[in-house]
Amino acid sequence: MKKTIILVGAVLILAACGAKQSKGETPPPPPPPPSKDVSAKDLIFGDPALAEGKQLYDNNCAKCHKWYEPKQFSKEEWKPILVRMQKKAKLDDIKMASITNFIDSQL
């Protein structure tokens, strides 16, 4: 009987030690830092103002004609295009600034 109690006690001690080891496992390493090549999608959805500018661009510009990639034109080429399109789309200066910021962020 005494041997049984000692045996049960030893099993309980070993089980308790095993449980502590599983709790003491090292946590997984943190994810690697983002690369310097951040995609346009990350820029847009990481910044609410840029996401708003993209939405305005999609809903006000690309609904009338094909969607132009911002990189199709230089910043200097975009300026007169945006001025001309602001009048046609009847956009106020605040909305136009948001669209301009979105396009500039993609260049």
Q: Which residues contact 75 (CB under 8 A, 6 or more apart)?
A: 104, 107
Reported as a single tens digit per residue, the pLDDT across 47-102 is 788 888 888 888 888 778 888 888 999 999 999 999 998 888 899 999 999 899 88
Quick one: pLDDT at residue 74?
A: 92
d(CA 27, CA 9): 31
Residues 6-39 have pLDDT tens digits of 766 666 676 666 554 455 567 666 655 554 444 5
- Could you tell me which residue, 46 or 65, shows the higher pLDDT? 65
CA separation, residue 12 to residues 3, 9, 18, 20, 25 (Å): 14, 5, 10, 12, 21
Predicted local distance difference test score (pLDDT) of residue 80: 92
Report the distance separating Cα 90 and Cα 96, nearest Å: 10
Q: What is the DSSP letter of 64?
A: T
Q: Give residue for tokens 């993609």.
A: 106
pLDDT at 1 over 80: no
